[in-house]
Structure 1
């Protein structure tokens, strides 16, 4: 999970903006850990604040990228070193609404190709990458990006039902709109007789 950026388009540090009962990054971590055994959290900008918040949590491995200003791919190359063997997910830390079901849907289809979730024709996050992609990322030119590597390696899409695969928080307008949606979903849940949370 990549949480190293400057949040320049947001105008304030988005990882610790309020979300539900916690923060944006809390939400992203909680949903990932509802399916994954462990998350490698790559920090950069204000990394010490994140270290203080998440240090000591046994299912979160912290990894600091001192070169975070070089971009997201530099954080990915840093975090890849701490991954266990096998398939692995990649997701930005500003996607707190991605449900555990998305992780599960991708995992069920895992194989030799890179898997991308899609809904209504649009691709999103997280992506699930096969073990061989570890070396591809580690040895890539630092100026490369993950999308290029995925296309070159081979990819497949997996249909999901959760539109939140598209909902990252880059601007104040996106943040306000998604918080409003979260409040509306909470209201819907409180008024449903079956107790099922809507997508």
Structure 2
């Protein structure tokens, strides 16, 4: 079984309001991420919340996802990854973890299925997306990488592990992966189709 962890705990300081709640094509960015995750059958989905958790929770609590509260979200992204991996580790049937963000508007279920499909032919490898001359999330990690994810600190994200383990990473090209929404200008350009 695949565990999907949507990292949505940040304070969106550059946006000035919770970007999880921003609307694009009639859905919030977080809803779009959740829809992509729920498009994977036989997966367990976790959403990690932190800043503005009570407000955001109201918009997703009716969905078939598990909500995790990361009280330590201010210490950086690693704390949200740890919260998700710790929750997944309670399930013996979970073989791997797919990490994704809530602000990549072009991630969809088809992309996630491609990542999982690549994993079946190379189970010991990390499967990551490639964009803008780098590798990043969404990325799929097998259970034997959980301890390394739990060892991340501060604002370190999955990219640190991806760069350390490049020889065991299979890259799926995803040009639109470089598009994430951090500022009001990003949102304007997205809505105008300029990203």
Segment drifting more, 4-13 vs 46-55: 46-55
Give the TM-score normalised by the residue count of structure 1: 0.80
Does 2:159 match 1:147? Answer: yes
Of 70, 78, 81, 2:83 maps to: 78
Deviations 1:64-110 (CA, angstroms, capped at 9, x unpaired): 00111111111111111122421111011111221222212211111
Deviations 1:22-77 (CA, angstroms, capped at 9, x unpaired): 2111111112221253321000001112222222422x110000111111111111
Of 22, 31, 34, 1:29 maps to: 34
Of 97, 110, 115, 2:127 maps to: 115
What residue is the counterpart of 1:92 in the other structure?
Answer: 101
Once residues 130 and 152 of structure 2 are traced to their aligned partners in structure 1, the CA distance between those partners, rounded to angstroms, is: 28
8 A Cα contact 1:44 1:67, kept in partner: yes
Deviations 1:124-143 (CA, angstroms, capped at 9, x unpaired): 420111111112222x1533
C-alpha distance 163-148 of structure 1, shift in aligned 2 (>3 A): closer
- Tell me how far 1:119 sits from its aligned partner: 4.6
Does 2:45 match 1:39? Answer: yes
What residue is the counterpart of 2:3 in the other structure?
Answer: none
What residue is the counterpart of 1:53 in the other structure?
Answer: 59
| Root-mean-square deviation (Å) | 2.2
What residue is the counterpart of 1:189 in the other structure?
Answer: none
The aligned length equals 180
Structure with a larger share of its residues in strand: 2
Higher relative contact order, structure no. (Cα contacts within 8 Å, ≥ 6 residues apart): 2
Once residues 40 and 166 of structure 1 are traced to their aligned partners in structure 2, the CA distance between those partners, rounded to angstroms, is: 23
Larger Rg: 1
Give the TM-score normalised by the residue count of structure 2: 0.82
